[in-house]
Structure 1
Amino acid sequence: MIELPNEDLYEIIIRSLNRVNDLLVGHGERVAYGVMRLAEQDGRFSEEEIGQLVWTVLFHDIGNFRKTDTWNLVQLENDQDYSHAIYGFLFLKTFFPFSQYAPVVRYHHSTDAEIENACIEQKLKWVVKCLRIVDATDLFFVNNGRKDMDKVNAYFRNLSRRLFPAGLPLESAEFSIMRDMDAIHSRLLERIKHQVLSNVEKEALLRTLVCSMDFRSHYTALHCSMMVRASDMLADCFGLEQKVKSEIHIGAMLHDLGKIAIPIEILESPGKLDGRMWEIMKSHVMITEDILKGYVSDEILQIAIRHHETLDGSGYPRGLSGAELTLPQRIVAVGDIVSALSEERSYKQAFPLHEVMNILKQMCRAGKICPRVVQMLEEHCDSIYHAVLEKGLQAADAFEQIYAEYYELTQPEME
């Protein structure tokens, strides 16, 4: 059960998105704020709808995460490569709790004629146009050095007049009202704080964020789902109380959040990483801590960031010893290894159950992982292993479906 307050959930998502590209820190919030202000002034949208639109716009560039080079999203926009909008649409349609707004992402880089001909309701076409205007203006602002606001405002006005010949209902046509990031953050946070979100919707928002990283590659698409399933089942086997099981579930789900800032060429390296690349890879744990600290309980935080620590003190990032590692932390560490061994990776094939257990036992003998947890896993290995594989198959099916639809929709553009 995800019982995070709305504002903490919001901070985790924003802090994660801001890690993707230094040039676009704040871009999602600025665009979400602009669309929110327009929707508020339009009068056709309920409070609930505006809140859902805010979440949608925050994720409007999620399709770019599949790119090999996530460091150059501004250049991708300049190159007119808008296939990410289609991928983002398909991704949100699959995972997002407010999937009815996924078409907004699909069409936010489309031509005027494509928007008019889209098979979506008029209210959504209006939102698409607003998103296109605010998104394009903010990118213009970023690309022009964030200095010449006269040019930015002129760009905003001209694009607004083209898409809304009858006028756009703005209190001010000046784009400069969106430059105060502290005010924007506070205003969005106030909107989100009072939104009614179920625990299922909160988990879906986090899953959307987590899967956006995992689904960058078919090698990693299964990992989080399988790892969470293994950790959840081990927690059940130990008969832990519900509060602790919830902490394990959330900590496991968020354990690799910091990988959002790691280049995919490192994540998918087919060979052994060199010293510099290995240090970059290991940094994902500290990035995870930086994102989560202050927004989840300390129990959840430590579960998330200690999955690479070992009983003998040789793990990372802090080289903790077994005496410092709690049972929930040990469970998630083993769950992570079970998932990694059970998946195909760029450098290995998936291991069958007997090899998974042999490797885990060797790690126990070497003093790396908890013998008690491995013993519990061995007692229930058939049910846990097959449940983990089933979760992996579900994630693989979702991955294949998204990419099949993606290539079907983009093929004409590629020919």
Structure 2
Amino acid sequence: MAIEYITSKNLFYLICDTLKLMDESLIKHGTRVSYIMSKMLECKGGYEKFEIADFMLLGVLHDIGAYKTDNVRKQLTYEAKNPMPHSIYGYLFLKYLSPLEEQSKMILYHHVDTDKLQDVDYQYKPETEILKVAEIMDIWHMAFVEKFDYHMIERYIGTKFDKRACELLYQAVEQYDIFNKLTDGSYYNEFEESVEYVLLSDEEKEKYLRMLMYTTGLKKESMVADTIETIYVCKEIGRKMQLSEMDSAEIYYAALVHDIGTLAIPEDIIDAPRKLEDAEKNLIHTHVELMHKAIEGKFSQNIVDIAVAHHERFDGSGYPKGLKGSGMNTKQAILQTAETVVSMINDKPYRKAYNKEDIMEELNNGIVSGKYDGVVADTFLRYYDEIVEKAFQKAQVTLTTHQRLLRNYEQVYKNFTK
């Protein structure tokens, strides 16, 4: 289904732009590692271009666990002193929440010394060794600047790094001049050329898009539940209104990504247990524009229009554009209503959850005042119990995958570091 709404290349860049919202430096690191890795794989040979592109996406994502477990602005600290927390979390994140289940162990092992992997039988062991070398090269290249010398790695061959992987590095330097291109920025042109070969199946696209939904949990766990619940409330309202499959799908994809802009908002504001100052409210409001920038030109325009209007209101009191009913449609109204309902149903740092009577009163008053679309809000109110029960049951089933990740993290960490 996703193939109708986003191309493989655009999805690749959407993943990059979403993670960039949390920290631009870490995604730039991932991009550079991805580039070095791709050139080493080309030197190794035996890969189709689309296979190299797949490994490039993994290269971009290799430090995704750090968004959860570490201060990403102190990369040298966590990479050097204790790299296993982000390696383990990243491994589990990709294992459970992405199409990269088989390749995910590359993330688990990417900070493990070569001499400790001698007895490990793993399909992607050669590529893991290439990833390890590519990452340390970027770290050293950025840290030592003009004093950088890739031959520094020779003292660690056979202990920390694999001999064959280091040989591929030397070939990549000679054949592609990778470090001069990294220095002057021209590497990115070749990076973009390789991304053209990304070829994802419909199933892979769907999994990556759902992975983006789970990235909000890297910032705040409850945001994952909010998004999933919003998706299912949208689905149930749409079912009651007998929407077409296409309309329902467009709302679904808009709901998947509607809150990714919050990844850029400081946690102390998101979690503030008090009424926000005007400046803080304005900062939170920017999450819509940030999300818009990330998805614009990647999804179909219908999906973009639905997502960016999720805080608009039919009386013009919403944001960011203050749109009124005449400038919006039913699909936008469904996401607005669902997002509003889920927000009220759940506890927030600054207030307790609303009860059913309060929610119904808010929506009824909003219908009368023109704040909410009358047809959509009335549909929800007429089927309140059924919609809420079905939506939240389905949401709980979907959340079990994410909860399994959280449960397994501590156990894997203990087993791997004992």
Q: Same fold (TM over 0.5)?
A: yes
Deviation readout 1:4-40 (Å, 9 max, x if unpaired): 1112112212222223224335222211122222223
Q: Does 1:260 align with 2:293?
A: no
Q: Does 1:409 align with 2:412?
A: yes
**Aligned counterpart, 2:114:** 112
Are residues 113 and 347 of structure 1, via their aligned partners in 2, closer, same or farther at CA, if it must alter by over 3 Å?
farther
Are residues 288 and 155 of structure 1, via their aligned partners in 2, closer, same or farther at CA, if it must alter by over 3 Å?
farther
**Aligned counterpart, 2:401:** 398
Of 16-25 and 324-333, deviating more is 16-25
Shift of 1:351: 4.6
Residue 90 of structure 2 is aligned with which of 88, 91, 110?
88
Output the amino acid matched with 2:136. A
Residue 11 of structure 1 is aligned with which of 10, 13, 17?
13
The 1-side partners of 2:117 and 2:267 are apart by: 33
Q: Does 1:312 align with 2:315?
A: yes
- Long gaps (5+) in structure 2: none
Q: State the secondary structure of the residue aligned to 2:117.
A: helix
Shift of 1:300: 1.5
Of 3-12 and 87-96, deviating more is 3-12
Of 172-181 and 222-231, deviating more is 172-181
Q: Superposed, which structure 2 residues align to 1:264-343 within 5 Å? A: 264-343=267-346
The 2-side partners of 1:74 and 1:371 are apart by: 54
Are residues 68 and 78 of structure 1, via their aligned partners in 2, closer, same or farther at CA, if it must alter by over 3 Å?
closer
Output the amino acid matched with 1:164. D
Q: Sequence identity of aligned pairs in percent?
A: 22
Q: State the secondary structure of the residue aligned to 2:276.
A: coil
The 1-side partners of 2:14 and 2:134 are apart by: 24
Q: TM-score, normalised by structure 2?
A: 0.87
**Aligned counterpart, 1:164:** 162
Shift of 1:238: 2.4
Are residues 368 and 175 of structure 1, via their aligned partners in 2, closer, same or farther at CA, if it must alter by over 3 Å?
same
Deviation readout 1:362-409 (Å, 9 max, x if unpaired): 333443221211111123323321222123313442333212211112
Of 161-170 and 128-137, deviating more is 161-170
The 2-side partners of 1:117 and 1:271 are apart by: 54
Output the amino acid matched with 1:104. M
The 2-side partners of 1:401 and 1:38 are apart by: 35
**Aligned counterpart, 1:134:** 134
- Long gaps (5+) in structure 1: none
Are residues 355 and 97 of structure 1, via their aligned partners in 2, closer, same or farther at CA, if it must alter by over 3 Å?
farther
Are residues 362 and 70 of structure 1, via their aligned partners in 2, closer, same or farther at CA, if it must alter by over 3 Å?
farther
Shift of 1:262: 1.7
Are residues 21 and 237 of structure 1, via their aligned partners in 2, closer, same or farther at CA, if it must alter by over 3 Å?
same
Deviation readout 1:168-194 (Å, 9 max, x if unpaired): 224244650551787544444444434
- Please tell me whether the aligned partners of residues 214 and 221 of structure 1 are also in contact (alpha carbons under 8 angstroms): yes
Shift of 1:272: 2.2
Are residues 246 and 152 of structure 1, via their aligned partners in 2, closer, same or farther at CA, if it must alter by over 3 Å?
farther
Shift of 1:159: 5.2
Are residues 131 and 186 of structure 1, via their aligned partners in 2, closer, same or farther at CA, if it must alter by over 3 Å?
same
RMSD: 2.8
- Please tell me whether the aligned partners of residues 334 and 374 of structure 1 are also in contact (alpha carbons under 8 angstroms): yes
Q: State the secondary structure of the residue aligned to 2:370.
A: coil
Q: State the secondary structure of the residue aligned to 2:133.
A: helix
Output the amino acid matched with 2:233. A
Output the amino acid matched with 1:387. K
Are residues 273 and 78 of structure 1, via their aligned partners in 2, closer, same or farther at CA, if it must alter by over 3 Å?
farther
Of 153-162 and 27-36, deviating more is 153-162
The 2-side partners of 1:63 and 1:286 are apart by: 26
Structure that is richer in helix per residue? 2
Shift of 1:268: 2.3
The 2-side partners of 1:169 and 1:401 are apart by: 38
The 2-side partners of 1:89 and 1:344 are apart by: 31
Shift of 1:129: 1.8
Of 252-261 and 273-282, deviating more is 273-282
Output the amino acid matched with 1:128. T
Q: Does 1:143 align with 2:140?
A: no
- Please tell me whether the aligned partners of residues 19 and 25 of structure 1 are also in contact (alpha carbons under 8 angstroms): no
Shift of 1:91: 1.0
Q: Number of aligned pairs?
A: 410
Q: Does 1:153 align with 2:150?
A: yes
Are residues 77 and 68 of structure 1, via their aligned partners in 2, closer, same or farther at CA, if it must alter by over 3 Å?
closer
Output the amino acid matched with 2:148. K
The 2-side partners of 1:413 and 1:198 are apart by: 33
Q: Does 1:357 align with 2:360?
A: yes
**Aligned counterpart, 1:198:** 201
**Aligned counterpart, 2:224:** 221
The 2-side partners of 1:389 and 1:288 are apart by: 25
The 2-side partners of 1:223 and 1:181 are apart by: 43
Deviation readout 1:31-80 (Å, 9 max, x if unpaired): 11222222232235455543332222221111122247554445433543
- Please tell me whether the aligned partners of residues 26 and 72 of structure 2 are also in contact (alpha carbons under 8 angstroms): no
Of 6-15 and 231-240, deviating more is 231-240
Q: Does 1:76 align with 2:81?
A: no
